[in-house]
Amino acid sequence: MSQMQRLNKRRTNVDTVFECLYDKITSMQLLPGAKISEAEIAMQLGVSRQPVRDAFSRLENLGLLLIQPQRATEVRRFSRREIIKSRFTRGAVEERLVRQAAQRCNPDGAATLDQCLSEQIKVAEARDYATFTVLDFAFHKCICEIAAAPFAFDVIYTEKAKLDRLCILGLSREDRLSLLLKDHQAIAEAIKQGDAETGVSAMALHLSRVDETIATISASTPEFFEP
């Protein structure tokens, strides 16, 4: 096997481990505070420990794992400080994106938004929380593309990943799918109409929905939060 083949295999293994653990953490199959082992994950997935170590590092950078010397790695608990930081960052970025999207939206962009919403409606009716979360990512990515700022999705992805676990809990506990769908419809309509101010207001309301979820989960399961 050549050096390049070994590097490609390693990258593939890292991606496989990362995606597996990311899905388990964000879907709350692995709860905040749960301890995980490099050796156990490597055995479960049939890979060496190095790609697991690399995947752990990527997850730590997303704020999903807590890696401490001489102590077990654990799924990171929710940080109130990081939540505030994430909300601020996303709010600033998404406001700019909505404004640019409202200025640039053409018939193709409008059709893409309509397609995103059509898929969300079907998933919401089926009460498929996990798939709705995936489509939520796609919706915000679509806005980035309409705004001619696809690079901005990297920021949204990073910040959104920190809150996705809370969103999953909120969707399942509070049955908020229909509410979030209405938010998306309002944002999309404003963008299609070129109404930046209405779109910005709708986006701000949409992003604020997580505040009530945070308060509810903090009261019911305080052990999920860092001291």
Whether the pLDDT of residue 56 is over 80: the answer is: yes
Going by C-alpha positions, the residue among 136, 19, 163 that lies closest to residue 128 is 136
Token match 């053409």: residue?
A: 106
More confident of the two residues 163 and 47? 47
Report pLDDT for 197.
Answer: 98
Q: How many CB atoms lie within 10 A of CB 167?
A: 20
- The angle that helices 152-174 and 129-146 make with each other, rounded to 10 degrees, is 150
* pTM for this entry: 0.80
Spacing of C-alpha 207 from chain mean position: 13
- CATH class, 3-75 region: mainly alpha
Q: What does the mean pLDDT of the chain come to?
A: 89
| pLDDT digits 0-9 by tens, 75-111 | 999 998 988 999 999 999 999 999 999 999 999 999 9
Residues 154, 176: Cα–Cα separation, whole Å:
26
Report pLDDT for 142.
Answer: 98
Question: Which of the four CATH numbers 1.10.520.10, 1.10.4030.10, 3.40.50.300, 1.20.120.530 does domain 80-224 have?
Answer: 1.20.120.530
Half-sphere exposure (CA, 13 Å, Cβ side) for 181? 20
End-to-end CA distance of the chain: 49
Token code pair at residue 51:
């790609």
| pLDDT digits 0-9 by tens, 203-217 | 999 999 888 888 888
Least confident of 1-10, 141-150, 175-184, 191-200: 1-10
Report pLDDT for 16.
Answer: 93
Report pLDDT for 6.
Answer: 47
- Backbone phi and psi for residue 35, each to the nearest 5 degrees, phi listed first: -90, 140
| pLDDT digits 0-9 by tens, 160-182 | 877 878 877 766 555 678 889 99
Distances (CA, A) of 150 to 42, 153, 167: 34, 6, 23
Q: Where in the chain is the domain with CATH 1.10.10.10?
A: 3-75
Q: Where in the chain is the domain with CATH 1.20.120.530?
A: 80-224
Whether the pLDDT of residue 52 is over 90: the answer is: yes
Whether the pLDDT of residue 115 is over 90: the answer is: yes
Whether the pLDDT of residue 200 is over 90: the answer is: yes
Token code pair at residue 202:
């709708």
Report pLDDT for 227.
Answer: 86
